[in-house]
């Protein structure tokens, strides 16, 4: 077995201002890769209760009163003492008004990576407007591509803007800035917004609008639900099966499995006028067997046909690929695990993950303001409660500054 090193971001210190969805997701990606992440929570009358952020894996928390000079001083002290990354999830101008904007903090710590995440562009028409995932993908153009031809555009829950274009995009930007810092010795501001991120993710279908591949309108093209052999079908038991048999050799295997060889479908694959009849035929055929029966037909074949699995069955069925793992496998420096692994049960090199965590990847662990904060401050800086800092009415404050700001 190859020698296993620590996770790739071991030693990187991250301050994550508490938020929802994209900011915490970026912080979780950093934490899963071994970074040490402290979430900065607000102080409130419910300070002993967890927030509704479930993306807390491997993180700790400190609660700070950002409206008070003592709270601002506490953040500045953490930055001056060597924080590597800061995640700002707020609307434009919020941290600047508190004296915690990038100009101020990069003056204090020139090596800081100041990660900023917004929905709309900071310099665009909608910069000062509130919005959610659906609005960001709407103005990016991506939403216009999603949905059936005979229905309104449909958002893919909040996966596209919040998580892919937002949190994951900011994570990528932070990694690029950390890499650049190795050469320059300097930090920088990293800005991500969900409009540009969504538009970038839609590069291929956007090009398709001009090339003729995807110019037939929403829901009428090869990959957007218009094509009968790139779609999903209900089975006899009310479950679903996915089909993606685009290439001719895969399509031929699909047709054999469905028992439809006599219909001459191979010659009609690219005839748009034939697609409605082909879809109707596929629909009726899939309804004749249960999902399990179709699995018995297509498992192990190249028909590009597979069951649509839901997370409830993935969680309880050990035969499925439901054990949640890091998104990439680093065999030499594996990321931290998402699923709890029994001792000696799996090879960390094979699965690319370190020690297991509670929850098996299906349930986020609550993190109340202040949870794990003392241990993390000790680990980061050797700070002890009552020495360098104290906690007053739930808020962390300095008692002895250790740097000259």
Q: Tens digit of pLDDT per residue, the chain (405 long)? A: 567 888 999 999 999 999 999 999 999 999 999 999 999 999 874 445 556 789 999 999 999 999 999 999 999 999 999 999 999 999 889 999 999 999 999 999 999 999 999 999 999 999 989 999 999 999 999 999 999 999 999 999 999 999 999 999 999 999 999 999 999 999 999 999 999 999 999 999 999 999 888 899 999 999 999 999 999 999 999 999 999 999 999 999 999 999 999 999 999 999 999 999 999 999 999 999 999 999 999 999 999 999 999 999 998 887 888 888 888 888 888 888 887 665 555 565 566 566 656 667 888 888 999 999 999 999 999 999 999 999 999 999 999 756 555
pLDDT confidence of residue 319: 83
Q: Is the dihedral of CA 306, 307, 310, 314 positive or negative?
A: negative
> Which tokens in the block code for residue 398?
């300095």
162: annotated active-site residue: yes
User: Can you give the pLDDT at residue 46?
Assistant: 47
Distant-in-sequence contacts of 336-341, Cβ < 8 A, 24+ apart: 336/7, 336/31, 336/32, 336/33, 336/34, 336/57, 336/58, 338/32, 338/57
Instruction: Determine the Cα–Cα distance for residues 232 and 303; give it in Å rounded to an integer.
Output: 14
pLDDT of residue 327: 87
- Check 65, 162, 231, 323 and give the catalytic one: 162
Pairing of strands 36-42, 13-17: parallel
Decide if 38 contacts 62 (C-beta within 8 A): yes
Please answer whether residues 27 and 37 qualify as being in contact, where contact means their C-beta atoms are separated by less than 8 angstroms.
yes
pLDDT, residue 49, reads 55
User: Pairing between strand 59-64 and 85-88?
Assistant: unpaired
What is the dihedral sign for C-alpha 396, 399, 403, 405? positive
pLDDT at 183: 97
**Global pTM?**
0.93
Distance CA 58, CA 37 (A): 7
The count of other CB atoms within 10 Å of the CB of residue 130 is 9
The C-alpha R_g of the chain, in whole angstroms, comes to 25
């Amino acid at each position: 077995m190859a020698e296993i090193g620590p996770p790739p971001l071991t030693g990187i210190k991250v301050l994550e201002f508490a938020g929802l969805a994209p900011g915490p997701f970026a912080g979780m990606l950093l934490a899963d890769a071994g970074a040490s992440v402290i979430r900065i929570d607000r102080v409130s009358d419910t300070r002993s209760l967890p927030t509704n952020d479930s993306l807390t894996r491997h993180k700790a928390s400190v609660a700070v009163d950002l409206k008070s000079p003592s709270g601002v001083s506490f953040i500045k002290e953490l930055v001056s003492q060597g924080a590597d990354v800061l995640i700002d999830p707020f609307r434009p101008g919020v941290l600047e008004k508190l004296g915690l904007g990038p100009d101020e903090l990069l003056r204090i710590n020139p090596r800081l990576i100041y990660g900023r995440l917004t929905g709309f562009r900071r310099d665009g028409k909608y910069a000062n407007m509130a919005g959610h995932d659906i609005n960001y993908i709407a103005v990016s153009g991506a939403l216009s591509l999603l949905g059936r031809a005979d229905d309104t555009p449909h958002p893919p829950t909040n996966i596209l803007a919040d998580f892919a274009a937002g949190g994951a995009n900011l994570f990528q930007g932070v990694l690029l800035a950390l890499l650049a810092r190795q050469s320059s010795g300097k930090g920088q501001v990293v800005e991500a917004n969900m409009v540009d991120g969504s538009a970038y993710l839609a590069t291929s279908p956007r090009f398709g609008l001009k090339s003729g591949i995807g110019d037939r309108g929403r829901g009428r093209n090869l990959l957007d639900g218009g094509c009968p052999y790139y779609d999903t079908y209900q089975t006899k038991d009310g479950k679903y099966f996915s089909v993606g048999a685009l290439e001719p050799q895969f399509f031929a295997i699909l047709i054999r499995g469905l028992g439809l060889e006599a219909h001459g479908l191979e010659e009609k694959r690219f005839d748009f006028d034939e697609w409605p009849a082909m879809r109707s035929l596929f629909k009726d055929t899939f309804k004749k067997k249960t999902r399990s029966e179709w699995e018995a037909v297509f498992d192990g074949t190249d028909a590009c046909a597979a069951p649509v699995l839901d997370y409830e069955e993935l969680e309880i069925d050990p035969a499925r690929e439901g054990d949640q793992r890091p998104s990439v496998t680093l065999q030499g420096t594996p990321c931290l695990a998402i699923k709890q692994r029994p001792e000696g049960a799996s090879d960390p090199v094979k699965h690319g993950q370190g020690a297991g965590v509670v929850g098996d990847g299906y349930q986020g662990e609550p993190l109340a303001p202040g949870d794990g904060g003392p241990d993390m401050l000790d680990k980061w800086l050797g700070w002890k409660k009552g020495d360098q800092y104290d906690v007053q009415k739930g808020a962390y404050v300095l008692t002895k500054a250790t740097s000259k700001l």
